[in-house]
Every structure is written in C-alpha cells, then in structure tokens.
Amino acid sequence: MVAIDYDLEFLEDGRTIDLISIGMVADDGREYYAVSSDAPWDEIKKSDWLVRNVLPSLPLVSRSALDGYLKIPQNSHPKPSLQYVAVNTRDTQVKPQWVIANEVRDFIQATDDAELWANYGAYDHVCLAQLWGPMVALPSGVPMFTNDIQQEARRQGLSWDDLPKQESGEHNALADALHNQTVRRWLAERAQK
Ligand SMILES: [Mg+2]
C-alpha cells in the first residue's frame, strides 16, 4: 500500500461540487498541485469565504485587486469589485480540468496499490472521482473510496483538538494535503504503540 494524502478546494452549492485546486502527496515522496482554469470563477468570486480563504494562495494575474478586497471587513456592502481578480493561465500550475484528470490518474496509477486519504473527505472523494465523469468511468487503479483521517481519529478515541495542528498554508490544497499526511502518519504511529 502506498498512501496518497490529498485535499481539494472546491465550490459547492448543495447540488454540485466544482474543483478549484488539488494537492496530493504520496508516501513515496511525489507531490502534485494544480489549479483548474475551468473552475466557475464568477461564481467562486461571489463566495466571500472562498475569496478570503482560498483565492489568496492561488496564482493570480494581479494580487492588488484581491488585496483591496481583503482589507475591507467581511460582509461589507457594497462589496469591493473583484472584476480584475483572475487566475493566471501563464502559470504552469493552472491547467484545464481534462489535463488535471489525466495527470491525477497517472499520479495515482504510478503506484500499484494506492490508498487514498483525506480529512472530512466525502466531498473531496466525489469531486476527485468526477474528474473522470460518472462513477463507472473511474480509471483502473484509482480506489473507489477515500479513507478519512476523522474516522481513524474517532477509532482511536481522539477529537480534532487532540491531533497535530497545521502551522501554515491552511486552505492551500497542497499545504492541506501535506498536513493531512502529517496527521495520518501521527495516527498510524500512535495506533502501533
Ligand atoms: Mg483544503
């Protein structure tokens, strides 16, 4: 088994889950990070939470428009314009979703026996699997489920407050994936004692 810890940032509205960015780290040392150029940016920019928490670590054309927004208190009216906030398609981390689908498939298939892990990962798993369309189109070698750090913590009688804390980069998908790896390894070590 090669564990792959991952995290997605996404827009969800109770009906659909749209990928914004994905970070993956494998126990063999490989890392992957991408931002979808196909994400519904106009909708994303309507979400104050996503603008404040997810957009700041994405490769943007210009940071100044976002910085102007971030200076204003949450839920101010009228909201500052985000018209000029856009992901930078000249950044190699920004890719069409079909490219991300191919690269993520290759990343997972590079190990014979991948095991997926995420934190509160139900939505992450669905959004990941939908990279390739319906459930029946899941590429071979891509697990049909994601193990959840929360479930392992619960099994060990631990709550979130008992687990190692994330030092920085929260809501950057790669930083979150790396933190998931830290927590998952910490739990695995603890289980062996
Ligand atoms: Mg995250």
- Around ion ligand 1, which residues have CB less than 5 A away? 7, 176
CB atoms closer than 10 angstroms to residue 43: 13
pLDDT tier at 124 (50, 70, 90 boundaries)? very high
Structure token pair of residue 106 = 């290759």
Q: Residue 161, exposed/middle/buried by CB under 10 A (0-12, 13-18, 19+)?
A: exposed
What confidence tens digit (pLDDT) does each residue in 28-55 have? 999 999 999 999 999 999 999 999 999 9
Is residue 16 scored above 90 in pLDDT? yes
CA distance 37 to 40: 9
In the predicted model, is pLDDT for residue 128 greater than 90? yes
CA–centroid distance, 177 to ligand 1, in Å, is 7
Percent residues over pLDDT 70 in the chain: 100
Q: Is the pLDDT of residue 78 over 90?
A: no
Stronger pLDDT, 112 or 5, i.e. the higher one? 5
Task: Please give the domain boundaries of the chain with CATH numbers for all domains.
Answer: 2-38+93-192 (3.30.420.10)
Ligand 1 center–CA 174 separation, angstroms: 8
**Weakest-pLDDT range from 63-72, 149-158, 168-177:** 63-72
- Predicted pLDDT at 81: 87
The conformational region for residue 96 under phi > 0 = left, psi -120 to 50 = alpha, else beta, is beta
Q: How many A from CA of 33 to the centre of ligand 1? A: 12
